Chain A
Amino acid sequence: MSTDTPAPTASTPERYLAVQRSDEFAGLRRALRGFVFPMTVAFFLWYALYVILSAYARDFMGTKLFGNINVALVFGLLQFVSTFVIAWLYSRYADRKIDPVADRIRNEIGEVTHEHGPRG
């Protein structure tokens, strides 16, 4: 296929393949997966620990810490804290490391479309 007369629709898949194989996109994918995969494993294990302790470590969960506040309640409240903290960390990370790269790649793709768009 000649490069100066590409039908926009025909060139679209190749363009996406080219973008997908670019180093810049690989970096974006790495940045995203490098954060969300380990974080998902971490919060899932932390939550699973809570559920498993609720099922099998009743004595430990029932230990009173102060007044009528026991380990089970504190453990449950810590799940709230960890959820809020992870959400905040992700939002900060995405603002800094994901959005700028995604915007740049999107704009590059947009320019290509724009060049060919009027002709098609």
Chain B
Amino acid sequence: MSMVLAAEAGDTTARNLTITLFLVFVAVTLAITIWASRQTKTATDFYAGGRSFSGFQNGMAIGGDYMSAASFLGIAGIIALYGYDGFLYSIGFLVAWLVALLLVAELLRNSGRYTMADVLAFRMRQRPVRTAAAVSTITVSIFYLLAQMVGAGALVALLLGIRPGTTFLGMDADAAKIATIIMVGALMIIYVTVGGMKGTTYVQIVKAFLLMGGALVMTLLVLAKYKFNLSSLLGDAASSSGKGSAFLEPGLRYGVEVAGNATQTFYHKMDLLSLGIALVLGTAGLPHILIRFYTVPTARAARKSVLWAIGIIGTFYLLTLALGFGAAALVGSEAITAQDRAGNTAAPQLAEALGIDFLGGDLGGATLLAIIAAVAFATILAVVAGLTLASSSSLAHDFYANVIKNGAASERREVAVARISALVIGAVAIALSIFAQNLNVAFLVALAFAVAASGNLPAILYSLFWKRFNTSGAVWAIYGGLLSAVLLVFFSPVVSGAPTAMFPEQDWQWFPLSNPGILSIPFGFLCGWIGTIISKERDEEKYAELEVRSLTGAGAH
């Protein structure tokens, strides 16, 4: 009886503390946003933060934009439930930065202005290419937004201690999740419409420091518990998982071998390869990451920002090992799945367990839980703001100004349209994410990576490096890669025909893999090649201009 009361007292403290900390974060970031809005006068300010950020600042902001709920909640959850396989995400998400560093960041910075399409449409006919790029930017960003919103929903149910059958302020778990999603959506719309790129960038910098701080503290506490002996942490995680040393090896979640069923085993292995390829090729096709390179003045600063980003992101992903295996050892998979089937709450539950141990009692647990939950909310908010900015920029700059108005829109109107677009995209993301609550957020982000790698990366690489590439090729590459990726996901076990699907009751599934990358990425490249050679269009002069500008920075905005 007294234990229940103490737990309830702890819950209330956690709730109040989280709400307080979260409100502080919201107040600080809103203040920054309002300050930034006073400095936002031109379109360059709104879209690219006036190109005034340093390499270090932008590196931190990239970290803040990239280390999403998927990295913090999702990876920790997959490692906690399935062991080693979650680490694959950490590795893929990091190695992917080499594609951005070596092939894309500097050339894009030199030749583009506000959006990804600036580079794709540079030597092409504007309208078809920009339309395709806007469609693709919005599709990728919405997939990614879904993941963040699902993370927010899972978090709030944990924080408010709502499990099926209990209520908070008269709301049951589902109502509270939806209320949270709407609140997160409303905040991100404010950050973007008011603060533009400048406000969003500062929010991301603040968030990067909070997230690194939170993850470092938790890692130190986990390691301290095991006397800084990684091997004994792993041993404890393996034994409390009940799966023994298999927990520390690849194969529990991906590439599962089904005895006596060679076809299933083959599909599982292909799914693992597909995930691997999507992770490593996705980053350099993510529109919200690409537009970050426009916030610095030169290509050299863009390179510096990627180097900083690799440093901070790499460090963070090393910490996910301690968070994930720590949650497996100290919280246990039963307690995690009881709260969230997909494991999305493993990291905050670990925080609670560490708090009970180190700060003492339920109150300590509640305190650390509150701090980490507030960090996770900050993480989600910053990322959704970045995504909303990328898609509303593309709608306004690519679609409104260059397709509808043929490049004749005034700057003021263009920025006004961008602000309205942010509202619309926020609303769509809120509505869609209500259906995706059962999915692991790292997994959802992996889908966004697959779509980005299929729809955007082929067109970007061909544009920058292939002289013969033309309008037809760009349009084919984008639509071919994008459609194949999205359709394969739609007919995959992610959407229907499996107990964990978005629509578990329906079944129109025929594609066996849950990640489409292994087919849709090569298909995107193939479409780009076919589209190019069937068209006679070639513009040597424009290619000369693009190549010279992208390599030297001459004429850069």
Residues of A within 8 A of B (CB): 12-14, 16-17, 19-20, 25, 28-29, 32, 35-36, 39-40, 43-44, 47-48, 50-52, 54-56, 58, 61-62, 64, 66-70, 72-73, 76-77, 79-80, 83-84, 86-88, 90-91, 94, 99, 102-103, 105-106, 109-110
Contact = CB atoms under 8 A, between A and B. Distances in A.
Q: Name the prevailing secondary structure of the A interface residues.
A: helix
B87 interface: yes
A91 B303 contact: yes
A48 B518 CA distance: 12
Q: Which of A16, A20, A43, A51 gathers most chain B CB within 10 Å?
A: A51
A61 B552 contact: no
A88 to B, nearest CB: 8
B554 A50 contact: no
Given A51-B88, A105-B548, 13 more contacts: A13-B545, A16-B549, A17-B540, A47-B91, A54-B251, A58-B250, A62-B248, A68-B231, A68-B245, A69-B231, A76-B91, A83-B97, A87-B101
A35 B91 CA distance: 23
A67 B235 contact: yes
A28 B551 CA distance: 8
Contacts of B232: 67-68
B551 A83 contact: no
B544 A86 contact: no
Contacts of B90: 76
B238 interface: yes
B548 A19 contact: yes
Contacts of A16: 541, 544-545, 548-549
Chain B contact residues, majority secondary structure = helix
A115 to B, nearest CB: 15
* Top 3 closest pairs, chain A to chain B, by CB: A67-B231, A51-B276, A13-B541
A68 B234 CA distance: 6
Contact of A105 (B102, B272, B544, B554): B554
Given A36-B102, A40-B102, A68-B238, A55 B554 contact: no
Given A66-B231, A69-B234, A87 B541 contact: no
Contacts of B548: 16, 19-20, 25, 105, 109
Given A17-B541, A76-B91, A36 B310 contact: no
Interface of B: 84, 87-88, 90-92, 94-95, 97-99, 101-103, 229-232, 234-235, 238, 245-246, 248-251, 254-255, 257, 269, 272-273, 276-277, 280, 299-300, 303, 306-307, 310-311, 314, 317-318, 540-542, 544-545, 547-549, 551-555
B102 A64 contact: no
B551 A52 contact: no
Nearest to B315: A80
Contacts of A72: 84, 248-250
A105 B552 contact: yes
Given A12-B545, A84-B314, A110-B554, A43 B249 contact: no
A32 B103 contact: no
Nearest to A110: B554
A91 B553 CA distance: 17
A84 B552 CA distance: 26
B464 to A, nearest CB: 11
Given A47-B280, A102-B553, A109-B548, A87 B95 contact: no
B94 A73 contact: no
A36 B269 contact: no
Nearest to B233: A68
B317 to A, nearest CB: 7
A20 B310 contact: no
A54 B255 contact: yes
B102 A83 contact: no
Contacts of B98: 39-40, 43, 83, 86-87
12 contacts: A17-B544, A20-B544, A29-B551, A40-B99, A51-B272, A55-B272, A55-B273, A79-B94, A80-B318, A83-B95, A83-B98, A109-B552
A51 B273 contact: yes
Given A83-B98, A102-B551, A68 B248 contact: yes
B255 A55 contact: yes
Contacts of B231: 66-69
Nearest to A35: B102
B102 A39 contact: yes
